[in-house]
Structure formats: structure tokens, C-alpha cells
């Protein structure tokens, strides 16, 4: 399966830090109706349709969150650990 395979991603609701730019920094998101707070943004990047965030959450897990800027929708997936993902780059 490809990294961009939609089956890997689940729709979610995301709260963002209020700033001059909409949806600039997620501060929490929902997984199975449970709010998970973002402890740290490990990495962010932009691709043609999405703005991506690799996040460390308060539950100790690493999640990838992406925002489809034209549809204004969010998706989330649990990621491999940040150090594991760095070794694969």
C-alpha cells in the first residue's frame, strides 16, 4: 500500500491554535471519539493537495495529520515512531 492510500487515513476533527493563518497548527484531534492533545509538532510539510503534520501526542504515540485545504477536511493515522521514520528517509 502507498503512503497516500486513503484506506490508511481516517477522517477526524482537529482543533487548531488560533493564529493569523487558518489551520496552521493542530493542538488536538479525535480518534475513536477520544480527544488527543498534541504535545509537539515533529515535522510539517506541504504537498499539492494537503498540509501534513507529524505529531507527538500526549498518549506517547506519533500521529500523522493532514488537512485537505480545498475541501477543508482533516484525516489522521497512527505513524511509526519519529526516529524510525527518520531512518527510512
The CB-based long-range contact list for 34-40 (8 Å cut-off, 24+ gap) reads 36/63
Looking at residue 1, what is its pLDDT?
A: 42
- Count how many Cα atoms sit within 13 Å of the Cα of residue 78 in the half-sphere of its side chain: 6
Looking at residue 48, what is its pLDDT?
A: 92
Confidence at 87, pLDDT banded by 50, 70, 90:
very low
Confidence at 81, pLDDT banded by 50, 70, 90:
low
Q: How far apart are CA 69 and CA 14, in angstroms?
A: 13
Contact by Cβ (8 Å): 16, 27: yes
Of the candidates 29, 27, 26, the residue with the CA atom closest to the CA atom of residue 13:
29
Q: How far apart are CA 21 and CA 81, in angstroms?
A: 28
Percent of the chain exceeding pLDDT 70 equals: 75
Amino acid at each position: 500500500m502507498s503512503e497516500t492510500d486513503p484506506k490508511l487515513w481516517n477522517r477526524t476533527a482537529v482543533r487548531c491554535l488560533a493564529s493569523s493563518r487558518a489551520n496552521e497548527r493542530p493542538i488536538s484531534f479525535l480518534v475513536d471519539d477520544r480527544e488527543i492533545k498534541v504535545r509537539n509538532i515533529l515535522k510539517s510539510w506541504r504537498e499539492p493537495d494537503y498540509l501534513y503534520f507529524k505529531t507527538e501526542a500526549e498518549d506517547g504515540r506519533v500521529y500523522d495529520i493532514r488537512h485537505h485545504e480545498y475541501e477543508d477536511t482533516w484525516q489522521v493515522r497512527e505513524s511509526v515512531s519519529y526516529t524510525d521514520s527518520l531512518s527510512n528517509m
